[in-house]
Structure 1
Amino acid sequence: MYLRVVKWLLLLSFGISVSSMSEVWVEFRAPRFVVHGHSATLRCNHNVDPETLYKVVFFKNSQRIMQYVRGRDPPYEFYNITGADINLIKVSPTSITLDRMDFSAAGTYACEIALEIPLYSKASKIHEINVIVRQKHRPKIKIKQEKLSPSGDLEATCHSGPAYPAPHLTWLINNVKVDERLTIPHGTMNVHRHHHGMPLAITNSSLKFPLSGLQIYPNHTVDITCLSTIPSYPTVGEGYADVQNQTVTVNLVRLEPSPTQLPVKIISDNTNNSCKMSFTSFYIMLLLVAQVLP
């Protein structure tokens, strides 16, 4: 009878716990981009009572890199990880810190928690971490025309500084993003520079923007900005992993139409009569000289 009661209580407890398992959540938190040689902290957030939590496992590319088991001595177990060092001082049951991250440390990461009573485990979603090399130089803009008319087109080119991966370029006119249909991407190109064996690349883009209809600044200028970023859009709570920009201010001039015919000089009547008298005097002088000569 006693065993039956104990078994019934265990089943009841198990049933209640399982019915509440749908409310358990697990979230892996880490930066999406890490600068080469820097550190990153990986966290396994959850809503399970620490006294109920039995095990936490961190994974990289589906392979274990750290495991915590409550009640064991020692509670932590570490596995090989390429491209980074686990900071043993900063480790906790739900977080680890990777130091001196190399390019091979990039990959997919996740974590999993487990309960002992009842037996239950739940994994987080996969999270991708990229190792990058920041740009050391601002992008460079070249304007095709030296003089711009308010009714003409603005044509320009831009190329980013070397980085890994190749940056994304965004054009802005007067601090407003340009419609991508007015830009022409020219892709990326590797440069003769490496960072710890990784080749760096630049990105090229051109722009043809109609100035007609654009609200010109009072001083008849237009600001052209080339924004060079990694990644192409900022992440929520992190912003850009790397961002550089250059802005060029262009003066607009009203270009006069070219003349359709050669200019004609208008001579007044007085000037015309004076020219006639000079010609007559010169002609009479020639006749006198002709008579004198044999």
Structure 2
Amino acid sequence: MDNMRHLIHLIISLLVLVLGVIGLKNLQITVPRMVRSGDSVLMTCNYDLEGKLLYTVKWYLDDAEFYRFAPKKKPPGLVLPVRNINVNLTISNKNKVMLLNISKKQSGLYKCEATEELPTLETKTDGATMTIIDVPQNKPTILVERQRLPLGETLRANCTSGSSLPAPVITWTLNGEPINNVTIFFKEYSRNIKIDEERTFSQSYLELSMTSEVLQEGKLLLKCLANIPLVYKASDEVEITEDEPFIASVRGDASPHSHRTNGCRPVSITQCLGLVTMFYILLTARSSS
């Protein structure tokens, strides 16, 4: 009897060993690294059963199971309540799961765990982190001191982004090209301003000399871009015109209608406050340098 038991145990061990060699392998998960809140997200889980049967596929968020696919169950898909995750059962299956209207609290480590059928119940797992971003509701806004400037004067501009977490990164372009100190001289000051635990906005202040090199047919196009990689990009732009000096006629006829004036886009009280803040920071930076 002992010999028979030993033989059976040996056969089972050999079967497990052989089946394990040719069973489940190469499991790989695909999860977006960053996405916008409110979007739908499709995550995939691919693996090779090498002819074996699938027992279950389970999806986890930070070790809490929220979706299970069991091909022998009717229906095969099952959703479990975790952080109000909304799973599209029509699209989700053994190789993918779709989440609807995702929110920031659903950020975390997502894992896929696949298990093959008896007798081995071989299991493989892979995971990846997804961060969900509440992007700014408003596009960035440029404020300039004046929209008409003569050559030799300094153009001062402020760009303020909408609020989010993380805060957008602000960059500038001049006439469609990134601004750099190789071609022109400029000064830039940037900072992030925290509103609360969930929201921060960015401000960037630019000083640029009005020279013939920056003008194209007496004008320049200044643009600021606010960017959160992979999920958000928005911009604002303003056209600055060269203010040529007025030359009176020989008769001294200085008609007010022929005189060039400086112009500025209509601004709100909030924008004016932002402009005042810009000048204060620029003065502070100058005094400390």
Aligned partner of 1:222 in structure 2 is 220
Which TM-score applies when normalising by structure 1?
0.63
Contact 2:214 2:220 in 1 (8 A): no
SS in 2 for 1:10: helix
Contact 1:152 1:211 in 2 (8 A): yes
1:204-223 deviation per Cα after TM superposition (whole angstroms, max 9, x unaligned): 11112455584532x12221
Contact 1:56 1:114 in 2 (8 A): yes
Contact 1:30 1:43 in 2 (8 A): no
Aligned partner of 1:186 in structure 2 is 191
After superposition, the Cα gap between the structure-2 partners of 1:253 and 1:131, relative to the gap in structure 1 and judged at 3 Å, is: closer
Aligned partner of 2:125 in structure 1 is 123
Offset of residue 106 of structure 1 = 2.9
After superposition, the Cα gap between the structure-2 partners of 1:210 and 1:52, relative to the gap in structure 1 and judged at 3 Å, is: farther
How far apart, in 2, do the equivalents of 1:210 and 1:74 lie?
69
After superposition, the Cα gap between the structure-2 partners of 1:212 and 1:48, relative to the gap in structure 1 and judged at 3 Å, is: farther
| Matched letter for residue 90 of structure 1 | I
After superposition, the Cα gap between the structure-2 partners of 1:74 and 1:224, relative to the gap in structure 1 and judged at 3 Å, is: same
| 1:251 matches 2:233 | no
Aligned partner of 2:44 in structure 1 is 43
After superposition, the Cα gap between the structure-2 partners of 1:245 and 1:87, relative to the gap in structure 1 and judged at 3 Å, is: same
Aligned partner of 1:89 in structure 2 is 90
Kindly, what percent of the aligned residue pairs are identical? 19
Which TM-score applies when normalising by structure 2?
0.64
| Matched letter for residue 232 of structure 2 | D
After superposition, the Cα gap between the structure-2 partners of 1:63 and 1:95, relative to the gap in structure 1 and judged at 3 Å, is: same
| 1:242 matches 2:232 | yes
Offset of residue 56 of structure 1 = 1.6
Aligned partner of 1:279 in structure 2 is none
Offset of residue 65 of structure 1 = 0.8
SS in 2 for 1:96: strand
Q: Please give the residue correspondences for 1:163-202 in structure 2 after superposition, counting only pairs within 5 Å.
A: 163=164, 165-179=166-180, 182-190=187-195, 201-202=200-201
Contact 2:104 2:131 in 1 (8 A): no
Contact 1:147 1:252 in 2 (8 A): yes
After superposition, the Cα gap between the structure-2 partners of 1:3 and 1:186, relative to the gap in structure 1 and judged at 3 Å, is: closer
Q: Name stretches of at least 5 consecutive residues in structure 1 with no aligned partner.
A: 192-197, 236-240, 257-294
How far apart, in 2, do the equivalents of 1:253 and 1:73 lie?
76
| Matched letter for residue 101 of structure 1 | I
Aligned partner of 1:63 in structure 2 is 64
After superposition, the Cα gap between the structure-2 partners of 1:48 and 1:223, relative to the gap in structure 1 and judged at 3 Å, is: farther
How far apart, in 2, do the equivalents of 1:4 and 1:200 lie?
62
1:111-147 deviation per Cα after TM superposition (whole angstroms, max 9, x unaligned): 2223346554332232213042442x33221223554
> Which shows bigger deviation, 2-11 or 203-212?
2-11
| Matched letter for residue 176 of structure 2 | N
Q: Name stretches of at least 5 consecutive residues in structure 2 with no aligned partner.
A: 247-289
After superposition, the Cα gap between the structure-2 partners of 1:58 and 1:188, relative to the gap in structure 1 and judged at 3 Å, is: same
After superposition, the Cα gap between the structure-2 partners of 1:52 and 1:179, relative to the gap in structure 1 and judged at 3 Å, is: farther
Give the greater-gyration-radius structure (CA).
1
| Matched letter for residue 204 of structure 1 | Q
